[in-house]
Amino acid sequence: MSSPTPSSPLDDEIESLKAKITTLKSHLRIQTSTLLSSPSVSSLLSNPPSSSHLKPKGLTPTILKSLRHHASLQKAHNQQSLYRTCATITTFRVQDPDPNAVDGGAVLGLRIEVFARGRFMRPYYVLLNRPFAEGGGSRKENGKGNGNSKEKSRTRKGKYVNWLRLHRQTIPPCIPISGLAARYLPAPPSRSEDSEREQNLVKFARHLRRELVRYHHRLATITDLRRAILAEDQTEQQEKPNKIQDITPADAEAKQITIEWEDGQTGRLVMGDDGEIVQVVALNGGGGQGNGSGRDREVVRELVGSAKKVEDVVRRLGSGIKD
């Protein structure tokens, strides 16, 4: 296997300039949106001064028209962002085109907004229908029942006519939506069951969004940890003989992080739902201390220190403080 070709100083300088250009473009977009959102700038664009000495230099009618257009777009974007921030869970109705769909094809939709890593994620959707509107979850009568049993059957049908069931969803597979649905949107009980069940759509939506927010925050924490360690390695390249080579999620829920060092050591960091550190283990590789196996507590102590959360590790690495 051939070794990778080392980059020349000119290539490194070009990559550095490209990174600076990207950063400057991002700062330009932020400053532009800040200025267009300012009340003073909006007032100036709406009612420009008539006198020439108060009018900004170079403000031609063409430029003014372009600025007003961008200001209107920015206002619409601000309104949409405010709505998505405040109304994180919204409902809507859709019609199932299937002619054989239950409840005449009526479907209730949930739209869930998640904000992470400085931007809105793509909305998640959950579709619910009412399959118990016709049968009510009860068994069919065999024709031998009396009037009281038929009346009870009609009562059961009326009680569970608005009960919901999960129909379609765009939630990541690692989110336990089936368990949440079984807990907060259970099916109607059978006649042999004495326990009275209740559905709670509000709790279902809140707990589902909480799981989504936790999931995206864990992904953002792993990204921040990778950036902090790479930045530390670049600043201390000559001082640290055994640098961390890679950090990747080890499971779909992003609760376990795999850490690889240059000397062959591997580690596993387990964090809880909210980013708290549950356990950290580093195993000696072929180049580590010992006989190539066993735990290396010194490496764990150097990486984690006294941090209780993964965010504390990122903050500690970013500040350069060693515990």
Tokens of 278: 């549950």
Over residues 185-195, the mean pLDDT reads: 75
**Which residues, at least 6 apart from 209, have a Cβ–Cβ distance to it below 8 Å?**
88, 89, 112, 114
* Pick from 79, 86, 82, 89: nearest CA to 212: 89
Average per-residue pLDDT in the chain? 79
Q: What is the pLDDT of residue 128?
A: 95
Q: What is the pLDDT of residue 145?
A: 47
d(CA 116, CA 275): 14
Which residue type sits at 178? S
Q: Please give the share of the chain, as a percent, with pLDDT higher than 90.
A: 24
Confidence band of 157 (pLDDT split at 50, 70, 90): low
- DSSP per-residue codes, 217-238: HHHHHHHHHHHHHHHHHHHTTT
**Which stretch of 91-105, 198-212, 306-320 has the lowest confidence by average pLDDT?**
306-320
Q: What is the pLDDT of residue 205?
A: 96
Over residues 124-149, the mean pLDDT reads: 64
Q: Please give the share of the chain, as a percent, with pLDDT higher than 70.
A: 76
Per the CB < 8 A criterion, the answer to whether 214 and 274 are in contact is yes
Q: What is the pLDDT of residue 209?
A: 96
Confidence band of 290 (pLDDT split at 50, 70, 90): very low
Q: What is the pLDDT of residue 94?
A: 93
Over residues 197-206, the mean pLDDT reads: 92
